[in-house]
Structures are given as C-alpha cells and as structure tokens.
Chains A and B, each alone.
Chain A
C-alpha cells in the first residue's frame, strides 16, 4: 500500500507550494549538493514522480539532538518535505504511537517496504552488555540488525552513529560502536556532526529521493558534497588568519571585529563540514561567526582529541604567542598535541583526495 501514496509534487501542491517554490527548492538542493544548474530539471522531474519512501528512524545511545536538528530543517520546510515527502513510519520521539503500537508500526513498515525502506540511525550501539540500552526489551544491537536487514540503505546520522561519539569517549563504559561496525553488507552513509546541520540531513535524503542512489562518499563514508572542504578553507574569518590577526580572548577588540579564532582553539583547519557555507538555521550564523572556535564535532575522535581551547599548532604570526602557549601546556603536552594534530591531519588526508591545509603545513 505504500506504493500507492501521492507523489511529492502532489504533496507540495496540497501544501500550497507553487511550482516556482518547488523549482526554487530543487535549485537550492542542487547547489547544496554542488551540482550544476543543468541538473535542476532532472531533480524536479525525479521529485515529481517519486513516491513517498518509507523511512524508519532508530535512536540508540544518543541525546535527541539529531532529531531536534531534523525538525529545524527548512528549504522549503520540515513539515512539507520530511513529514510528507517521506513516510516517517517509525520515530521514537516524533511518532504519535507509543509502546506496543509503536513497535507494530515499525514491524509493519519493514514488512510492507521490504528491501526498499531507508533506515536512519542516530546514536551509538553498546556492545559491552545487551542490557545497556534496550527499546521495548530489545537490545540496540538486535534492533539494528533486524531493521537493517530489509533496508535499501542505512544512514548514520550524527557523530555517535557515524563514529561512536560522546558515548564512546574514553573509557567507553558501554563499549559503544558506530553503525558501520555492525552493518557490513550494505551501504552505510555517515552524516556526522553533533548534531549534523539540519539542511545536510535533508539534503542527503533529497539526494537519495532524487537519484535513487547514495551520493558520492569520501573514505570516512561522508557525502563529499557536504563534507568535502574544511571549515577553515571556507571561513569568512580566513582573511584575518592570512593576515595574522587573531582574537586573544573572547571579548577583546579582535574578537569583536571577527578576527581569526585559531589561538582560542578553533579546529576549523582539520574539520570537514558545511558550517561555513550553508551555515546554521536558515543561514543565520555558525559557531565561528558567534565567537566560538569550531570544536570539530563532525570528525572521528573529536571527543578525545584534546582540549577544545588549545590551539591546533603554531599559527602564522608573532612567535611569542606560541611559546607562551607551549609554556602553559608544558613541553611534553605541547609535543603530544602536535603529534595528535599531525595524526589528525594524516587521517584527514587519508579521507580526502584533496587536502587543503597547506597553510597549516606552511606554518610549521
């Protein structure tokens, strides 16, 4: 019966969204996915004829931040595209049903859409003990395996599902692992971030709906369209970095003028995400624009990668600042940070064919 649902174009019309508004969405989607404008008609045609695919969303060891992020999606709207473009047949927090009725909805969706539904997972899976996290008496591991078995593809939303995240922080008391550690027999797409940018979650879904396939991924399973460039390379404060102008504290003259936050620990140079380009919440701002360095929340291992406020490595500029920082940290600690930075850069290089942190390298 799922097959008989209305097409997206019909749904959009029901919502009073005009043809023009629809095409605008297609154009936005194309630009978000770094596709040429010539692809807009193809996207529009695909969206018009697509049926509403069933989506099952499972939440394991997580904080519901990823779900909250989903609800913040625009372009054109969460209520239009997420609640009506797809059929969200199971979602703990948002669905009306509870208890037995909720589980029955999941099982029915799996049955009716076998082999065709999308499985979205947020949260990590505890392997330490099956009792560490259960839903309706079912362990997270069992529920993931059972639900993934009939899924067309699995999307791991958020850093916990993609890389283990905060629950996996040392000493990882629950033995938390990411989805990709469990699901090996079908594509697992990682959409990391704590949480991911709302429009990136929607954009990945839109790609699947449009092309019926998953977008091109990097070595860490992330869609290149959103995670292909570093925050640093697209940051509006980058010119100040190049000029050696840095905020020294959170409310000094430089901070107020929007100078580079590198010395306050910004991880933008080693973080690959779309924050500096799409920005957050309808383009209002992103962490750096609001005065806080990037904490690298979409990178594997960010939770154990050292202090958020410790500068990555020696910045371009007066040498005394770097010496001061090293004195505070102690030489041994400074060396350890540098080592970690090098390994972070190495893994970033491994994940991306095109590495664009030349400036960092230059500064060493």
Chain B
C-alpha cells in the first residue's frame, strides 16, 4: 500500500485499540515519511510540474558555456561544467531530430507564456534527468526499512523491520547466543550506513539543485505570485511526532486551521468532533441514506455509488448536477486547502523560527511581499521550502535512532493487542497524517473484531472536490478563478495552477470564455 495510506491506516487501528508504538518505531516511521516527502516533492517539481515553466525545445538554443556560468552562479552542484550541458543538449537534439519526442511529444513548446532564457531551460532539462537518476537511488531508505519501494511494508504496533545490530555484545561465553546478527535483516550496520548516505544525498540535492532551481525559475515568473490564490483557508492535521501521536505539541508539523489568510490566529482542529470534518455529496456520484444535502462525519460516512453522469464517450459534464467521484469535505462548513502551503503557513504562523527565516530569505531574494505566498508559485515554493526543512530534520531522527540502539533499546514493535481476542467489543479511531499532498485521515469503526465502517478523506478531495450544497467551490476551482489565457487552445496557465497543488488524480477542468465557448483540459 502507498506509504501515506499505510501510515494512516495503521494509525487508525492504533488509535481505536489504544496501541502505543515504541520510540524506535516512531523514529523509523518519521524517517520513512520524511524520505517520502523529499522524494515525492523533487519528482513532482522536475517530472510533473517543471515543464509547465520550462520549454524543453528552447534548450536547444542555449549556449552550454553560458548555461554553465548560470548554474555555477546559483549553486556549487558538481554537474555544472560547459561539457556536461553540451552533452545534455546533444542528447536532446538527437531526440528532437529523430522525430520521436516520446514523453515530450505535443507539449506547448514555443508558447509565449514560457519566459525562461534558453540557458535556464537547458539547466532545468539537465536537472530533470539528474533528478530521475537521483530519485532511484534515494528510495534505498524505504527499501531497507520497508522491504520495497513503491509500497513499503508497515505493521500495526510498530515497524516490521527488526534491528539486526548488537552493540552491547557481552562477549564469548556470556549471555545468549549472538551469532548470526549481521545480515539478519536489512537494518544491520551496513543498512544503517546506507540510510545515512541517503540522508546526506537528500540534503545535497535539495540544497544544491532543488532550492536554487525553484528560486531561479520563480524569478522569471513573478506575476505568478499574484494569481492562483484560491480559498485563503488552510488546514493541517499535523505529523512527525516526537512524543507519541497523541501529543500534538511534539509534532514537527503543527495542527490547525487558518481562515481568510489571517496568520495571526490558528484555530483548533478536532478530527473526532462530528461537527468539524464532514463530507458532502451534492455534486458527487454518491447517495446518502439521509439525502443529497446532508453532511456526514467520516465515522458515520457512507459510500454508495450512484453514477448519474452522461454515458461515455462524452465531451462535457453537467456541473450544475453531480460531476465528480470525489466527495466535498468541509471543516465547520468551510472549504479548506491542504498541502505544502498550508503546512508552511502553519509553521510560520506558530512561530517556527527556521521556517520564518527561510520564508523571509525567499521573499527577500525574489523581492515579493508576504502576500505572494497566497498564489500558484507560493504553493510551488512552499513545497520546496518544506523539503529543505525536512531534509535537515532527517538527520535528527537518524541520530536519535542510532543513540537508542547504542543504549541497548532495540524495540520496534508492541504486540500487546496483536490478538483480536484482546480487543474491546467495539471501538473506533482516526489515523491522520500529513501526506506530501496534504492532510490525510482514515476513520475506522471496529465491531466484534471486524471493520464495521472505514472512510478515507484524502488531500485531493479537500483540494479538488466539487462544490458543496451551498455552492462553495473547492480549492482547485477557487484558484482557477480569473486566470487569463493567452490561447484557450493551449491553456498552459491552467496547468500551472492545477499542478501547483500536486494533484493525485487525472482531473478534468472545464473553461468557459465570455462567448460561452467551452474547453476541456485534462490535467494530471
């Protein structure tokens, strides 16, 4: 199962059954969640979002020497020589000349909305390829601790990975039989060293490539700090605990809600309160027993399919009726944005010093006011900034894990409630996490050792969900308001804003111009 849903689901069961996980399991989960963020965000930026800003074909016109000078002025990243960029350019040229553009086929190359000089485009294309190679290597952290990537393994009560290290070996003839420790599991001394190398590589790539590229590209697109604002309401569930999942004061990402862009007030969020998180289906292809207008807390949630859309193939969906498989989650009736921008704003608003310094540095460097954060590029920049914050935090979790092992604490699993016969007759719990895309939670109701109800409310439903019964738009729809399109047949502006949310779905966006002509844009 995807890491984020695996974490949310085991936490839901742990919450329901009141299971506490050992400190090492908390640290290992934090390392895996942190690694997921850094990996996902880099891939999102280079492989799913960059080509909205980077014109691949324009890179052919770049001067490799000037590209090298540009790259070296931004960063000490080693792959910055004129020869390196000349090689990348030659590869690209060969590809274009072959007539087989593959993944780059039919991009909006040459669109006037592309503003980067050829040298910046070439640098970005080189880093697109570098990032592809880098991401393949850094997944080793997940593979060691979870056995594979994608979809590493987890277990209710802790982590499945046992620690195959015996630092306090009592010596020959004493204590139990210790032979056979090294290599018992992937988390031996070698595995531990590999994890350290991954963390170092993550920090280096973030500092030397991802952060400088974000700033460099953003500098050419400052008008995108003024559009794509969206709702102005932000919410986080909080994550990365240091003293158990029941103590939000120890979270790296705090929990809370910000309303109407007011950073001076953080509202409390309670995932168990039945009047806070509710899901609506007025414009979704579902039915509730209590009718289409009702909102349900996830513990009482229902999932009854009722597709009422047109029979495929179709050109358009009737947006005044049901038009989505997503429900519309609301917090106290309000539409909320979740994700990197919400988290960075929450850290900023709650006085997290490293965040405030980082945000201040970026605003100063780009010479834009703090309001610039509420925008398409603000969202994209927030994703980069939290990657930097997490890359730095990873070392702390690793050091603590090593210190625990050194002190003889090798517990990774709590088996108290492993047997279903030890469970109460009925229980319920919520497992929340901050997924890279935003707040994610699973609600489980357990009766007689079986799941009686299970509901997932995922970040993309908060951001991409359809209108609610009151007609309130979700974050995507709100953010698209007022976008001026240079060419409605090539709506790259829409892609920029939708991709800034890191959508997990292939979603359809319909545009209507003043003459009533409509366009459909599928964004991935």
Q: Out of A71, A98, A100, A256, which one reaches B132, CB within 8 Å?
A: A71
Of residues A129, A251, A275, which shows the largest number of chain B Cβ atoms within 10 Å of its Cβ? A251
Distance of A147 Cα from B137 Cα, bound (Å): 34
Chain B nearest CB from A284 CB (Å) reads 4
B356 interface residue per 8 A CB criterion: no
A132 on the B face (CB < 8 A): yes
Per-residue CB contact flags for chain B residues 154-173 toward chain A (1 = under 8 Å, else 0) read 01011111111000000000
B305–A173 touching, CB < 8 Å: yes
A 114-136 contacts with B by CB, 8 A: 129-132, 134-136
B506 interface hit (Cβ, 8 Å): yes
A258 in contact with B164 given A68-B150, A96-B56, A98-B522 (CB within 8 Å): yes
CB-based contact A250/B412 at 8 Å: yes
For residue B483, CB closer than 8 A to chain A, the reply is no
Flag A92-115 by CB within 8 Å of B: 1 or 0 each.
111111111111110011000000
B187's nearest neighbour on chain A, judged by CB, is: A290
Q: Which residues of A (122-157) have their CB < 8 Å from a CB of B? A: 129-132, 134-139, 142
Q: Which residues of B contact A139 (CB under 8 A)?
A: 312-313
Q: What's the Cα separation between A325 and B456 when bound, in Å?
A: 32
Chain A residues whose CB sits within 8 angstroms of the CB of B512 once the complex forms: none
Size band of the A side of the interface? 35 or more
Neighbouring B residues of A284 by C-beta, 8 Å: 140, 143-144, 186, 194
Q: Is the CB of A137 within 8 A of B164?
A: no
Q: How far is the CB of B442 from chain A (nearest CB, A)?
A: 15
- Is B280's CB within 8 Å of the partner chain A? no
Q: Is the Cβ of A287 less than 8 Å from the Cβ of B522? A: no
- A79-B133, A99-B522, A255-B162 given; A5·B415 CB < 8 A: no
Nearest residue in B to A90 (C-beta to C-beta)? B105
SS class of chain A's interface: helix, strand, loop or mixed? mixed
CB distance from B524 to the nearest CB of A (A): 5
Contacts of B411 in A (CB 8 A): 251
Q: Which residues on the A side are within 8 Å of B186 (C-beta)?
A: 284-285, 289-291
Interface centre among A10, A96, A284, A288 (most CB of B within 10 A): A96
State which of B106, B415, B421 has its C-beta within 8 Å of the C-beta of A101.
B106
A286 on the interface (CB 8 Å rule)? yes
A194 to B148, CA, bound (A): 10
Cβ of A292 within 8 Å of any chain B Cβ, yes or no, is yes
CA of A295 to CA of B147, assembled, Å: 12
Contact with B along A1-23 (1 / 0, CB 8 A): 11011100011001110000000
For residue B145, which residues in chain A have a CB less than 8 angstroms away from its CB? 290
Q: A64's closest neighbor in chain B, by CB?
A: B504
Q: Does B342 contact A (CB under 8 A)?
A: no
Q: Does A137 lie within 8 Å of B105, measured CB to CB?
A: no
Closest CB-CB distance, A299 to chain B, in whole Å? 16
Interface residue A343 (Cβ < 8 Å from any Cβ of B) = no
> Is the C-beta of A306 less than 8 angstroms from some C-beta in chain B?
no
Is A52 positioned at the interface, with any CB of B under 8 Å from its CB? yes
Chain B residues, CB < 8 A from A328: 419-421
Q: Is B246 an interface residue (CB 8 A)?
A: no
Range of interface residues on chain B? 35 or more
From B47, B184, B313, give the contact of A257 (CB < 8 A): B184
- In the assembled complex, the Cα of A96 lies from the Cα of B307 at a distance in Å of 31
Q: Which residues of A contact B523 (CB under 8 A)?
A: 98-99
Q: Is the CB of B312 within 8 A of A257?
A: no
Instruction: Spot the interface stretch: B175-183, B255-263, B362-370.
Output: B175-183
Name which of B72-80, B96-104, B347-355, B429-437 contacts chain A. B96-104
Is B207 on the interface with A (CB-CB < 8 A)?
no
Contact of A250 among B312, B316, B415 (CB under 8 A): B415
A131-B311 contact given A2-B99, A289-B185, A292-B160, CB 8 Å threshold: yes
If A249-B413, A250-B412, A292-B147 touch, whether A287 touches B136 (CB-CB below 8 Å) is no
Q: Is B521 part of the contact surface with A, judged by Cβ < 8 Å?
A: yes
**Complex interface: chain A residues within 8 A of B81 (CB):** none
Of the residues A88, A93, A250, A289, contact of B159 by C-beta under 8 Å: A250
| B288 surroundings in chain A (CB, below 8 A) | none
| A252 shortest CB reach to chain B, Å | 8
Give how many A-B residue pairs fall within 8 Å (CB-CB). 263
Residues of A within 8 A of B148 (CB): 197, 275, 280-281, 285-287, 290
- B472: chain A residues at CB < 8 Å are none
Q: How many angstroms between the C-alpha atoms of A78 and B109 in the bound complex?
A: 24
CB neighbours (8 Å) of A94 from chain B are: 47, 103
Cβ contact within 8 Å between A256 and B163: yes
Q: Report the stretch among B86-94, B332-340, B381-389, B394-402 that lies at the interface.
A: B86-94
Would you call A291 and B313 a contact (CB within 8 A)? no
How many angstroms from the CA of A170 to the CA of B522 in the assembled complex?
A: 31
Given A98-B523, A249-B418, A292-B153, answer yes or no on A2-B315 (Cβ-Cβ < 8 Å).
no
Query: Beyond A98-B521, A258-B183, is A71–B102 a contact (Cβ under 8 Å)?
Result: no
**Chain B CB within 8 A of A195 CB:** yes
Which residues from chain A contact B309 at a C-beta distance below 8 Å? Answer: 131
CB of A359 within 8 Å of the partner chain: no
Which residues of chain B in 403-427 are interfacial with respect to chain A, using CB atoms and an 8 Å cutoff?
A: 410-413, 415, 418-421
Are A249 and B181 touching (Cβ within 8 A)? no
Q: For the complex, is A218 an interface residue (Cβ under 8 Å from B)?
A: no
Q: Is the CB of A6 within 8 A of B94?
A: yes
Q: Are A72 and B149 in contact (CB-based, < 8 A)?
A: yes
CA A130 – CA B51 in complex, angstroms? 32
Nearest chain A residue, comparing its CB with the CB of B140: A284
A130 surroundings in chain B (CB, below 8 A): 311-312
| Interface residue? A323 (CB, 8 A) | no
Q: How far, in Å, is B147 (CB) from chain A's closest CB?
A: 3
* Chain B nearest Cβ from A331, distance in angstroms: 15
When chains A and B are docked, how far (Å) is the Cα of A104 from the Cα of B421?
Answer: 57
CB-contacts of A143-201 with B (<8 A): 173-174, 194-195, 197
Q: Is A35 an interface residue (CB 8 A)?
A: no
CA distance A98 to B90 in the complex (A): 26
A291 and B307 in contact, given A98-B524, A250-B162, A281-B139 (Cβ under 8 angstroms): no
- Nearest-Cβ distance from residue A100 to partner chain B, whole angstroms: 7
Residues of the B chain whose Cβ atoms lie less than 8 Å from the Cβ of A281: 136, 139-140, 142-143, 148-149
Contact of B506 among A52, A78, A135, A251 (CB under 8 A): A135
> A238 at interface (Cβ–Cβ under 8 A)?
no
Given known A96-B56, A257-B180, A290-B160, contact A285–B415 (CB-CB < 8 A):
no
The answer, yes or no, to whether A37 is at the interface (CB within 8 Å) is no
Contact partners of B392 in chain A: CB under 8 A? none
- CA of A88 to CA of B504 in the docked complex: distance in angstroms? 21
Enumerate chain A residues within 8 angstroms of B147, measured Cβ to Cβ: 280, 285-292
A291-B100 contact given A93-B524, A286-B148, CB 8 Å threshold: no
Query: Knowing A96-B106, A290-B145 touch, does A16 contact B415 (C-beta < 8 A)?
Result: no
In the complex, are the beta carbons of A98 and B150 less than 8 A apart?
A: no
Please provide the chain B residues from 109 to 146 with a CB less than 8 Å away from any CB of chain A in the complex. 129, 132-133, 135-137, 139-140, 142-146
* Contact between A135 and B160, CB atoms less than 8 A apart: no
**Inside 8 A of A86's CB, which chain B residues have their CB?**
102
- The residue on A at minimum CB distance from B315 is A137
Q: Which residues of B contact A321 (CB under 8 A)?
A: none
- Once the chains bind, are B106 and A132 in contact (CB under 8 Å)? no
Chain B CB within 8 A of A356 CB: no
Q: Is A31 an interface residue (CB 8 A)?
A: no
A79 touches B132 (CB 8 A): yes
Contact B100 A135 (CB under 8 A): no
Asked if A14 contacts B94 (CB within 8 A), the reply is yes
16 A-B contacts, Cβ less than 8 Å apart?
A4-B99, A16-B87, A65-B150, A77-B132, A94-B47, A96-B104, A96-B106, A99-B520, A100-B521, A139-B312, A251-B410, A256-B163, A285-B147, A286-B148, A290-B146, A291-B187
Question: What would 6 more interface pairs be, CB under 8 Å, given A99-B491, A280-B143?
Answer: A1-B100, A5-B98, A100-B520, A101-B106, A250-B155, A251-B158
